[in-house]
């Protein structure tokens, strides 16, 4: 069906009015903050009273950009910002982090293979999505770049460990103020979640996902925990079930994998 012809604008658009407002002579009146257009006034938009508007904007901006790009589904990678590239493992702050560096390579290879499949849909399905920072996040974006595909970076303003890595697709690199809206974007299109060893942030994102599925607020999706030894050491899952704080069947919401091959096989079972 032919698309309707766009109607001519009846009123000037916001960009035009911004240009006009910026071109007026400087006077005490035009230099006053009160004279700024409301949508072009950072100080006004930063007020506490405008929080609901900022929440909406943070939801809309990435959503519109991904929709315009035609992105339908994602494969999400969670994992530690401090896990180094094996080439830099000598500079790791602990021996454990140095040992975990192999998961950088696993995340990179996993993202590469997923992206090769994503390219079959012209990078609209199964697009790699990471937190955009260093460590495992960098490995995920890097693997997608290795395959010649695109990837999404969902950064957030933090005092450290959140400078965007250089491998995410620039047009799909976003920055957030609100953790809650960032988490929504992680999961709104997710067809699978791969969680690599990490710290508080990784645990937060993993448990948020598990809780949404457990409470049926989110459709079941494969949750792949890379590194059984790590996860069983840091979380006593069985103790949660034995104590009754979770149900035994909740342990089926995720599965362990130790290699990219195992992860890809698990996703094929789910027809991802």
pLDDT tens digit sequence for 235-257? 999 999 999 999 999 999 999 99
pLDDT at 203 over 50: yes
- For residue 224, what are the contacts with CB-CB under 8 A and spacing of at least 6? 192, 193, 194, 195, 254, 255, 256, 257, 263, 266, 267
DSSP 142-192: HHHHHTT--EEEEEE--SSS-SPPSSS-GGGEEEES-HHHHHHHHHHTEEE
Q: Is it the case that residue 46 has pLDDT exceeding 60? A: yes
Examine the pLDDT at 57 and tell me if it is beyond 60. yes
C-alpha distance across the termini of the chain, in Å: 31
- What value does the mean pLDDT of the chain take? 95
At 1 the pLDDT is 45
Q: Does position 106 have pLDDT exceeding 90, yes or no?
A: yes
Average pLDDT value for residue range 106-119: 98
The domain segmentation of the chain, as residue ranges, is 71-269
Spatial distance between the Cα atoms of 122 and 125, rounded to a whole number of angstroms: 8
**Which architecture, in CATH terms, is 71-269?**
3-Layer(aba) Sandwich (3.40)
């Amino acid at each position: 069906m032919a698309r309707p012809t766009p109607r001519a604008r009846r009123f000037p658009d916001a960009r035009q009015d911004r240009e006009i407002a910026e071109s007026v002579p400087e006077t005490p009146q035009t230099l006053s903050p009160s004279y700024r257009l409301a949508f072009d006034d950072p100080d006004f938009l930063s007020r506490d009273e405008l929080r609901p508007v900022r929440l909406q904007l943070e939801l809309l901006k990435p959503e519109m950009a991904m929709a315009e790009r035609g992105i339908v589904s994602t494969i999400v990678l969670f994992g530690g910002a401090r896990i180094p590239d094996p080439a830099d493992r000598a500079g790791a702050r602990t021996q454990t982090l140095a040992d975990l560096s192999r998961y950088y390579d696993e995340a990179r290879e996993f993202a590469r293979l997923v992206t090769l499949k994503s390219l079959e849909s012209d990078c609209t399905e199964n697009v790699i999505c990471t937190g955009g920072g260093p460590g495992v996040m960098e490995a995920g974006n890097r693997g997608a770049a290795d395959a010649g595909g695109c990837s999404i970076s969902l950064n957030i303003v933090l005092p450290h460990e959140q400078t965007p890595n250089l491998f995410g697709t620039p047009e799909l690199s976003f920055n957030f103020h609100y953790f809650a809206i960032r988490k929504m974007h992680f999961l709104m299109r997710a067809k699978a979640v791969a969680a690599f060893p990490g710290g508080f942030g990784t645990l937060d994102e993993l448990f948020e996902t598990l809780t949404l599925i457990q409470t049926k607020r989110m459709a079941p999706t494969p949750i792949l925990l890379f590194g059984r030894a790590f996860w069983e050491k840091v979380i006593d899952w069985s103790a949660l079930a034995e104590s009754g704080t979770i149900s035994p069947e909740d342990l089926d919401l995720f599965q362990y994998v130790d290699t990219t091959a195992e992860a890809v096989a698990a996703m094929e079972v789910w027809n991802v």
